Amino acid sequence: MSPKSFLLSDAIHRYILDHSMPIDEVQRSLIERTRALGDVSGMQIAPEQGAFLTILTASLGARRAVEVGTFTGYSALCIARGLGDGGRLLCCDVSEEWTSIAQAHWEQAGVAERIDLRLGPATETLRALDDSATIDLAFIDADKRGYQDYAEQLIPRLRPGGVLLVDNVLWHGAVIEGDGESDGDLAHIRAFNDWLAANDAVDSVMLPIADGLTLARRR
């Protein structure tokens, strides 16, 4: 089943899925519906990453979460399922087409009432949030040029001990061998990775999940 963590063989990936939280029919439907979109379906997170998001969200006792970059809604579905009682997830995206797929599956999964979808530039949405440090978990998986700006808006709003997750930080291995001059996204990812690793406001670890996932904890 695709997508998967790019470092894994098909056999190891199947073994991991067989020994992790199983996907249900709604998730399976969402994977298939997204796959039908063609090459763009590669933006969907891997099933094992989704299970990680659900378990981490629940383990943090998260009740207020933010997602930047929703696409067809798989990651939002997984985060919403992990939220505590009364929890809310704010989703930022610009595509009505893709998020309409998301909304249909959120309804099927029974989590739509936990999700506040806002269409428009994420920078504007984030800057309009109150400045109180009350966010428990944030997930960035959007345009790579905006990564640092999104993180700069989110980190001060994380509660102490709150977590920021950032996707695609390995860029299929190109961070160590790719040509940043011909790939603008790669150059921005490298710059962001260096910036976050040196940020004194958080402790961070880069994990080889999916296309690379950085977990940063607010000090």
Q: Summarize pLDDT for 209-219 with one digit per residue, the tens.
A: 999 999 999 99
Question: Is 2 a residue whose pLDDT tops 60?
Answer: no
Burial of 94 per CB tally in 10 Å (0-12, 13-18, 19+): middle
**Biggest CA pair distance of the chain:** 47
Q: What is the CATH number of the domain that holds 109?
A: 3.40.50.150
Instruction: Please check whether residue 3 lies inside any domain of the structure.
Output: no
**Type of residue found at 175:** V
Q: Which residues contact 166 (CB under 8 A, 6 or more apart)?
A: 139, 140, 141, 147, 151, 192, 196, 213, 214, 216
Instruction: Please check whether residue 5 lies inside any domain of the structure.
Output: no
Instruction: Please check whether residue 86 lies inside any domain of the structure.
Output: yes
The answer to whether 208 touches 170, Cβ cutoff 8 Å, is yes
Q: What is the pLDDT of residue 58?
A: 98
Instruction: Please check whether residue 196 lies inside any domain of the structure.
Output: yes
Question: Is 167 a residue whose pLDDT tops 90?
Answer: yes
Mean pLDDT of 167-171: 95
Question: Is 208 a residue whose pLDDT tops 80?
Answer: yes
The answer to whether 171 touches 185, Cβ cutoff 8 Å, is yes
Instruction: Please check whether residue 1 lies inside any domain of the structure.
Output: no
Residue range of the domain that includes 168: 10-218
pTM as predicted: 0.95
Domains identified in the chain, total number:
1
Q: Which residues contact 15 (CB under 8 A, 6 or more apart)?
A: none
Instruction: Please check whether residue 4 lies inside any domain of the structure.
Output: no
pLDDT band at 1 (very low <50, low <70, confident <90, very high): very low
